[in-house]
Amino acid sequence: MTATQTAPEWTAEELTELAELQTRNESLPEDAPRGLLSVRLSILTEDTTSPARQELDLRRYANREGIRVVGVARDLGVSATKKAPWERKELGDWLNNRIPEFDLILFWKLDRFIRRISDLHEVIKWCEKFGKNLLSLNDTLDLSSPMAQAMVTFIAAVAEIEAANTKTRVSSHWEYTKQQDQWRIGKPSYGYTTARVDGKLRLVQESEQARAVRYMYRAAMRGVPANRIAKVLDRAKVPTYSNRKWNNQQILRTLRNPAVKGIRTEGGTKATTYKSTPVLDKRGQEIRVTDEPILTGEEFEKVQAALAIRAKNKRHHEKNRRPTRFLGVMKHECGRNVNETNNYKSLSTGEIKEYRYLRCPDCRKPGFVIPDPEHAYSALAQAVFEALGDFEVIRREYARGDENRRERTRLEESIAYYMTGLEPGGRFDKSGFIREKAETTLDALMSDLGKIDPESTKDRWIYESTGITYSQHWKSGGIEAMERDLLSAGITFELSRQDDGEILGKLVIPHDVKERLIRMDNNWG
């Protein structure tokens, strides 16, 4: 069961306190430790700590400890057991791209930040590499020694056990619930909604969706392709699962789901290609959770047979299908991705000839078709080589400034010591050798201080040339390397058909393409 998490609302009192805490935060000195606040929540209920309370608690603590808050990573509706810290939308951006901007990560409780021991080990290694620290408001955390790290691991183990226990409780609840003839948990399948019937929560038909399912059934029985059914539903503005356009997979998933018969099912995860299976009672019978099924058992079996026949006819096509090259890069002028499609024609000799072509799935009649995919791929690659091939391949590395910071502090303290000593009445305020020696030492210290670049005392990104061009990189890495680079840089190749039938390709390059092409190391195992 999934839950949709909405942004939390702040009360007037909370907003007032937030403004006060932010004002106090801005008054902290520039050299104060810089803290990143991490706020995470899977599902907001009455028993959970709200994101607003988490953030206010963390800001109060930061002000007490003299930590200057430089940002807040809010990841709501995110499970810590399913997504590691570096995979989350907001926190992941800070951990991967904004490392020089903070010194420590502050969170409300360890299980709000992380729940898997393997993820914790990765974060500890990351902290050691980049000189960061972790602070928990409600746990004692310290990464300064191996023993301290072992204690942190122990706390994380407890959090992982708690998460496993929660999963066990949910599974146990589902095992009990799925045997009942009333609806207790989960989202009904497409075509149904919930209502009270004789005191029990049961499934009833959602009128508009149920009519759509009945149309899918009748069209499929006539042999209408799933993508044609999807277009009709789109034109009729029939709502889909998630307010997106209908596609053939949604049509097939709806018709192949036994839940359309009004029975309880389980499964339907991505690992099983969304295939749900009926739940059986102790006598081996399907458990009916509605009195008005959209499709009867007989109708369901008929449509499965019709879909199976159509799938069998397409099966030999699927064997030779290959992924579209430059998918996500090559686009039609309407903005949709251009896909490579296979067609087959039986010859008089009995052989089957294969035809490959590129098309836009939204622009078929009048069709936008390129009969020679290889020519289009070649034109794209040639345009990319001409526009970007001479660019240097730049790599981004992280440079820590703590060593130079310590050296600068040592020199500044030494300079202050000798300057004080040379003042009237100071320990070096004497004529002769002692004063000359102190002045010579002071000059040397000031010279050494002047050699330290102020930027080198900061944690920062440095950009170094690899000594090769992108032309050389793509020739050695092949078409796959070019595809990855173009996708990450947001470069597209727009195809359009002119009035005379000629296909025109235009390479669209973002203005900051050099920054987008910079190669970055993956810091996570």
Per-residue pLDDT of 21-42, as tens digits, reads: 999 999 999 889 999 999 988 7
Name the CATH code of domain 12-169 (choices 3.40.50.720, 3.40.50.1390, 2.60.260.20, 3.40.50.2300). Answer: 3.40.50.1390
Q: Which of 98-102, 199-203, 274-278 has the least mean pLDDT?
A: 274-278
Burial 436-471 (b: 16+ CB within 10 A, else e): eebeebbeebeeeeeeeeeebbebeeeeeeeeebbb
Would you place residue 5 in the very low, low, confident or very high pLDDT band (cuts 50, 70, 90)? Answer: very low
Q: What are phi and psi of 137, to 5 degrees?
A: -70, -35
Give the sign of the dihedral formed by CA 194, CA 197, CA 199, CA 200.
Answer: negative
Residue 222's closest CA among 301, 316, 313, 302? Answer: 302
**CA distance linking residue 414 with residue 408, whole number of Å:** 10
Q: Length of the chain in residues, anyone?
A: 525
SS3 content of the chain, % helix, strand, coil (to 5): 45, 20, 35
- Pairing mode of beta strands 330-332, 492-497: parallel
How many Cβ atoms sit within 10 Å of the Cβ of residue 278? 15
Average pLDDT for 193-221: 86
Residue 198 phi/psi, 5° resolution? 55, 40
Q: Rounded to two decimals, what is the model's pTM?
A: 0.62
> Residue 393 corresponds to which tokens in the numbers above?
């391949």
pLDDT confidence bin for 190, thresholds 50/70/90: confident
Domains 12-169 and 192-316 share a fold: no
What number of other Cβ atoms are within 10 A of residue 213's Cβ?
Answer: 22
Q: Please give the sequence-ordered ranges of beta strands (E in DSSP) within 347-387, or none if there are none.
A: 352-359, 369-370
Residues sharing a CB contact under 8 Å with residue 332, sequence separation 6 or more, in sequence order: 338, 360, 362, 363, 368, 494, 495, 496
Q: Which residue has the higher pLDDT, 278 or 451?
A: 451
Please state, in angstroms and rounded to a whole number, the distance separating the CA atoms of residues 132 and 336.
43
Span 218-243, mean pLDDT? 86
The yes-or-no verdict on residue 321 having pLDDT over 60 is: no
- CATH class given for the domain over 192-316: alpha beta
Residue range 372-429, pLDDT digits in tens: 888 889 999 999 999 999 999 999 999 988 889 999 999 999 999 999 999 988 888 8
Residue ranges of E strands in 330-480? 330-332, 339-346, 352-359, 369-370, 392-399, 460-469
Are 404 and 410 in contact, with CB atoms under 8 Å apart? Answer: no
Q: Where are the alpha helices (DSSP H) in 43-138?
A: 51-65, 89-97, 110-113, 117-130
Q: What is the pLDDT of residue 111?
A: 78
Q: What is the pLDDT of residue 6?
A: 42
Give every CB contact of residue 353 below 8 A, 6+ residues apart in sequence: 344, 345, 346, 347
Mean pLDDT of the chain: 82
Q: What percentage of the chain reaches a pLDDT higher than 90?
A: 35
Task: Give the model's pLDDT for residue 334.
Answer: 85
Section 42-70 average pLDDT: 82
432 contact partners, CB below 8 Å, separation of at least 6: none
With contact defined as beta carbons under 8 Å apart, do 206 and 191 qualify?
A: yes
**What mean pLDDT is predicted for residues 478-492?**
92
Report the alpha-carbon distance of residue 136 to residue 104 in Å, rounded: 11
Instruction: Calculate mean pLDDT across residues 483-495.
Output: 93
CA distance 61 to 52: 14
Tokens of 242: 């998630």
Plot region of 69 (φ>0 → left; ψ -120 to 50 → alpha; else → beta): beta
List the domain boundaries for the chain.
12-169, 192-316, 320-398+462-525, 401-458
